[in-house]
Structure 1
């Protein structure tokens, strides 16, 4: 299924006519990549969504499961992986849970606008987001992309929605 067709039907003509297809939506942890492999295997049964104890997985375009980080992040418990009957979600721990990483919109970030805010760094358990003290000023947000697991725990608490999850240009096949 070509995602550009769905974009066209939704009125997103610009996305649909672009040379590259739009990026895949955030899928459950351990979802097969590229997205075409996931959508080939996924039957849209909803078992992963029902198994998620924090209700992070919801039906997306075409009924395929996606993660919505606007409410909370993923704790990588593995319930969705155990519930998937088709193998569209690989066994938990067999590969890294997520292929995407956090991206900071520096124009929206409060720290970049000289307002003290450490909320995202406090939500990040891996230390991928840190607030580094600045001499004579407020702390500045520093992102360590290598430490980011893609769990999305930092997205929801941001008061100005300056954080989003993005897939790398070339996600590894799994």
Structure 2
């Protein structure tokens, strides 16, 4: 018989704040205290974007694919870490840095083509190719734009870490 109270003795108390927590997590600040790192969320992710991250805790890797918000990670979890499916999955949005090809005046619209919510729009500017703009109110943080970006210039992170 395993004493579950002792299992928590060796857990890290803080996960790297740069890592995006899983969707629907009730309280990311208590995630490392409550997650047992059983791997059920990793096994049940339909797009396989949940991977073992810092300290073996599950995190999202958008370089693999996008989140379809299938809720399978929450269903598979034996702990009570997740909110109900009818709530917002997270406060995560995409940002584009200056490595973007369009910002280098090279035509590229890969991210906009992958954005189902149409949060990434391209606006014409004088003397430049069309420039990407993210409507933060429309962005659901699914990460579909990340893997297709040829310069890895898109990042999805928690909303409270971004300025609006």
Q: TM-score, normalised by structure 2?
A: 0.83
Distance 1:2 1:86, change over 3 A: closer
Across the aligned residues of Structure 1 and Structure 2, the Cα RMSD in angstroms comes to 2.0
Aligned pair partner of 2:154 in 153, 159, 163: 163
Which whole-Å CA distance do the structure 1 matches of 2:17 and 2:30 have between them? 14
Contact 1:98 1:151 in 2 (8 A): no
Aligned to 1:9: none
* Cα drift, residue 108 of structure 1: 0.4
Distance 1:158 1:170, change over 3 A: closer
* Cα drift, residue 136 of structure 1: 5.6
Secondary structure of the 2:43 match is helix
Number of matched pairs: 151
Which whole-Å CA distance do the structure 1 matches of 2:84 and 2:32 have between them? 17
Contact 1:131 1:142 in 2 (8 A): yes
Distance 1:170 1:132, change over 3 A: closer
Q: Identify unmatched segments of 5+ residues in structure 2.
A: 1-11
Aligned to 1:101: 93
Contact 1:47 1:80 in 2 (8 A): yes
Matched, 1:70 2:63: yes
Distance 1:61 1:109, change over 3 A: same
Q: Identify unmatched segments of 5+ residues in structure 1.
A: 7-21
Give a deviation string over 1:19-46, Cα, whole Å, max 9, x none: xxx525112211122x222222211111
Q: TM-score, normalised by structure 1?
A: 0.79
Q: Which runs of 4+ in 1 moved over 6 A?
A: none
* Cα drift, residue 91 of structure 1: 2.9
